[in-house]
Structure 1
Amino acid sequence: MPSNQEPEAPHSVLPYPPIHDTAPFVVLSDWDGTITDKDSNDWLTDNLGFGFDKRRALNLECLEGKMSFRDSFRQMLGSIHHPFDYCKEELKKNIKLDPGFVNFHTWCKSQNIPFIIVSSGMAPNIRGVLSTLLPGPDTENIDIIANEVNFTDPGKKGDTWEIVYRHPESGFGHDKSQAILPYRDLEHKPTLFFCGDGVSDLSAAKHADLLFAKVLPNGHSDLKTFCEREKIPHVAFTDFNKVLEKVKEVVEGGKSVQQVLKEEGN
Structure 2
Amino acid sequence: MAPIAITPPTVEPKQVRPSMQRANTANMGTKRKIICFSDFDGTIFMQDTGHALFDNFGCGPERRKVLAHQLESGERTFREVSNELYASLDVPFEDCFEVMKTALDIDPDFQTFHEFCVNNSIPFNVISAGLKPVLRRVLDHFIGEDMSKHIEIVANDAKVTATDDGNKWEAVWRHECELGHDKARSINEYKAAARMESDNGTIPMIVFIGDGVSDLPAAREADVLFARRGLKLEEYCIEHNIDYIPFDTFADIQKQVIKIAKVDEQKTRGKGLPSNFNPRANMWRRVSSRAAVPVFAALSPAKEEKAFLWPDTFTTPATVAATVPPNVEAAVAVAAPVA
Alignment partner, residue 164 of structure 1: 172
Distance in structure 2 (CA, Å) of the matches to 1:116 and 1:152: 28
Indicate the structure whose relative CO is greater, using CA pairs within 8 Å and at least 6 residues apart. 2
How do residues 207-226 of structure 1 correspond to structure 2 at under 5 angstroms?
Answer: 207-215=221-229, 219=230, 221-226=231-236
1:94-120 deviations in Å (ceiling 9; x for gaps): 323111101111111111111111111
Distance in structure 2 (CA, Å) of the matches to 1:118 and 1:160: 25
Counterpart of 1:24, as a letter, is K
Alignment partner, residue 89 of structure 1: 98
Counterpart contact for 1:69–1:172, Cα < 8 Å:
yes
How do residues 100-111 of structure 1 correspond to structure 2 at under 5 angstroms?
Answer: 100-111=109-120
* Residue ranges of structure 2 left out of the alignment (5+ in a row): 1-30, 196-200, 268-272, 279-339
Counterpart contact for 1:28–1:193, Cα < 8 Å:
yes
Counterpart contact for 1:23–1:114, Cα < 8 Å:
no
Alignment partner, residue 76 of structure 2: 67
**1:222–1:75: structure 2 CA closer, same or farther, 3 Å change rule?**
farther
**1:163–1:229: structure 2 CA closer, same or farther, 3 Å change rule?**
same
**1:149–1:260: structure 2 CA closer, same or farther, 3 Å change rule?**
closer
1:27 aligns with 2:43: no
Give the TM-score normalised by the residue count of structure 2.
0.62
Aligned partner of 2:219 among 181, 198, 205: 205
Counterpart contact for 2:54–2:88, Cα < 8 Å:
yes
Distance in structure 2 (CA, Å) of the matches to 1:252 and 1:23: 8
Residue 53 of structure 1, CA deviation: 3.1
Counterpart contact for 2:243–2:276, Cα < 8 Å:
no
Residue 205 of structure 1, CA deviation: 0.9
Once the two structures are overlaid, the 10-residue window that deviates more, 142-151 or 245-254, is: 245-254
Q: Give the count of matched residue pairs.
A: 233
Residue 57 of structure 1, CA deviation: 3.8
Once the two structures are overlaid, the 10-residue window that deviates more, 47-56 or 206-215, is: 47-56
Give the TM-score normalised by the residue count of structure 1.
0.77
Alignment partner, residue 332 of structure 2: none
Counterpart contact for 2:130–2:156, Cα < 8 Å:
yes
Alignment partner, residue 249 of structure 1: 259
Distance in structure 2 (CA, Å) of the matches to 1:251 and 1:23: 6
**1:63–1:150: structure 2 CA closer, same or farther, 3 Å change rule?**
same
1:184 aligns with 2:191: yes
Alignment partner, residue 56 of structure 1: 65
Alignment partner, residue 39 of structure 1: 48
Residue 210 of structure 1, CA deviation: 0.7
Alignment partner, residue 135 of structure 2: 126
* Residue ranges of structure 1 left out of the alignment (5+ in a row): 1-21, 262-266
